[in-house]
Amino acid sequence: MLALARYTLKGPYQATAIVGLLAIVAVFVIPVLGYSLASVVLAFVTNLLAVMLVGLIILTQGSAAGLKVIAIAALALSLAAWMGLKSVEPGISMALMQWLPVIVLAQILRSSKSLGLTLLAGVLIGLVIIVIQSLVWSELESSWLTQLVQRREGAEIQQAEAEQLVQFVRLMLLFLASTMYLMYILVIFLARWLQAKLAESKGFGQEFRALTLGKPAATAALVVVLAGLWLQYAWLVSFAFVVVIAFMFQGIAVVHSRLAEKKNTTGLFVLFYVLLVFTWQITGILTAITGIIDNWLDFRKKPGNRNNVN
C-alpha cells in the first residue's frame, strides 16, 4: 500500500492513472466477472483504494492539485462506463457520492488538522445524505426490492419471505447513511495514516489517541439518540446511527489511549476489534457510550492529574 501511495504522489499523471484505473476496475469487475464473493471483494477493495488515494492526494497536495487529478479520473471513468455499460451513471455516482465527500473531509482535515472537527463535518454530510434519501425513500425501497426479487431467478416467493425481504430492505435503508459515513471516515483516517507513514511520522497515532468531539456535540448526540428511540422516525433513526458511529470513534480512541500505557497489549487490541466487528450491536454501542461519557469524565486523563483539576 505504501508503494502504491508513493507512486501515486510522484506526479499528476501517475495519480490520474492509478486513481482512474482502480475506479474503472471497481465499476467493471462485477459486470465482467459476474456476481460472486470474489468479485464483490475485489470491487470493494479497488474502490476503497481509489477513494483513499483521492483523500491522500488532497491531504498532501491540496485541493487545487487534487481536484485536477480527480476531475480527469472521473471523466475517464465516465467514458469507460459509457463505452462498456452504455451509461455514465457509475462514473457520476462515484464522483458525487464517494469522491466529493472525501474531498471535502480531506480538505477540512488539511486545513484544521483536527480529526474531531473532521468527524463532526462528516456527521453533517451524513445528515445531507439522509435528507436526500428521505426525498426518494419509497423509490429506493422499491428499486432494491425489485433487484432482490430478480436475483431469485424466477423462483416463487412466499408471503413470509416477501415480508422478510421488505424488512431487510428497510433496515438497509436505515443503515445507508451511517454505512457511507463509516466508509468516509475510515478512508480519511487511512489516508491520514498513509500520509504519516510516508513522512515517517507518528503524528496520526498521537492525534487519534487524543481525539475528542466535545461536550456540546456529546449533548447533541444524547438528544438525537434518545429522540430517535422515542419518536422512531426513519430519518431520525438513521441520523442516530450516524451519531453513534461518530462517538464510537472517540470510544476507540479511549481504548487505544488506555492500552498504549500498558505493555504487551497486542492480544487485547485483537480481542477488542474482533468483538467490535462480530458483536458490533453490543460492543459498538458500548464503545460509543464510552466516547460520549468521555467528554465529561475524561477517561484518558492520568489519575494523578484528576486530583489537580479545580
Cβ neighbours of residue 74 closer than 8 Å, sequence gap 6 or more: 23, 91, 92, 94, 95, 99
Q: What is the pLDDT of residues 221-265, one digit of tens each?
A: 999 999 999 999 999 999 999 999 999 999 999 999 998 888 888
Handedness of CA 22, 26, 284, 234 (dihedral sign): positive
Grid cell locating 15: 495519480
Higher pLDDT residue, 3 or 85? 3
Domain that holds residue 73: 1-112
Tell me whether residue 246 is in a domain.
no
pLDDT confidence of 308, banded at 50, 70, 90? very low
- Whether residue 29 is contained in a domain is answered as yes
- Tell whether 21 is covered by a domain: yes
Residue with cell 486513481: 19
Mean pLDDT calculated for residue range 21-29: 83
For residue 68, tell me if it sits in a domain. Answer: yes
pLDDT tens-digit profile of 35-89?
Answer: 777 887 888 888 889 889 989 999 998 877 778 777 787 777 777 777 766 766 6
With a pLDDT cut of 70, the percent of the chain lying above it is: 90
Residue 303 has pLDDT above 60, yes or no: no
Total domains in the chain come to 1
Inside any domain, residue 306? no
88 DSSP 8-state letter:
S
Q: In whole angstroms, how far apart are CA 136 and each of 8, 142, 263?
A: 37, 10, 51
How does the average pLDDT of the chain come out, rounded?
Answer: 85
Mean pLDDT, range 187-206, rounded to an integer: 91
Q: Is there a domain that residue 152 lies in?
A: no
Is residue 175 one of the residues assigned to a domain?
Answer: no
89 in a structural domain? yes
Please give the share of the chain, as a percent, with pLDDT higher than 90. Answer: 43
Torsion of CA 215, 216, 220, 226, to 10 degrees: 30
Look up the pTM and report it.
0.89
